Amino acid sequence: MAERIRLEKKIVTENDRLAAALAERFDEAGLLVVNLMSSPGAGKTSLLEQTARRLADDLRMAAVGGDLATDRDARRIIDAGMPCRQINTGRGCHLNGRQVAEAIEVYDLADLDILFIENVGNLVCPASFDLGEHRRVVVSSTPEGDDKPVKYPVAFRSADCVVLNKMDLVEATGFSPASFSGFVRDLGLDVPLLELSCKTGQGLGAWLDWLRTQREAVRCRAAPSPE
């Protein structure tokens, strides 16, 4: 029987190289980049709409959005007051570094505080592709069931923040926030878990505060050291 040799060394892919180049560009611009991941319909676009409306006076923001087809989500975000560049992936189930690099060419990165990457609705593929972002946010919602962290552990383990949306539907769906939180902690995560409703506005303040804190952390890291 042939001997199997397990290779532990990671093979550097084209996407890894592109992601590293993107990360360098984002750092040089002092720009916070947030990669939003979720299942379809969890509310990523609604979250960006609310963010655009509530932070427009405080922070300069833009987005790129991934979807298989149409520019419906991008138009919603633009109507809310945030520039957005749509990326249509066709059959692709995630965004990659090349797509993001091409999409952001329309922006002056140095003139932005936060760039949001709204990934394709999918909790499998996007978790495996680095886009040079500073933070990953997984958005889940109450109609999806409280066991999402157990079913998609790779995505949740990659998150720097977990947003639980549609809290206004908890009673109607029979969702258990305690069970959801328990499943998140069972994965060994020590990240913010923000319960909110984009429809009613419940809990959005905590989300906006988290963004401000992350933006400040990136800005301070990018600031030149005093002589």
Res 8 pLDDT > 90: no
Average pLDDT, stretch 23-50? 97
User: For 13, which DSSP code?
Assistant: P
Phi, psi (deg, nearest 5) at residue 178: -65, -40
- Look at residue 221 in the predicted model and tell me its pLDDT: 82
Predicted pLDDT of residue 92: 87
What is the domain class of 16-219 according to CATH? alpha beta
Q: Reduce the DSSP state of residue 79 to 3 states and report it.
A: helix
End-to-end Cα separation, the chain, in angstroms = 64
Reported as a pLDDT band with limits 50, 70 and 90, residue 9 is very low
Provide the pLDDT confidence category of residue 10 given band limits of 50, 70 and 90.
Answer: low
Least confident of 6-15, 127-136, 167-176, 199-208: 6-15
Q: How far apart are CA 195 and CA 180, in angstroms?
A: 11
pLDDT at position 36: 98
Positive or negative: CA dihedral 183, 115, 103, 88:
positive
Is it the case that residue 5 has pLDDT exceeding 70? no
Could you state, in order of their start, the residue ranges of all structural domains in the chain?
Answer: 16-219
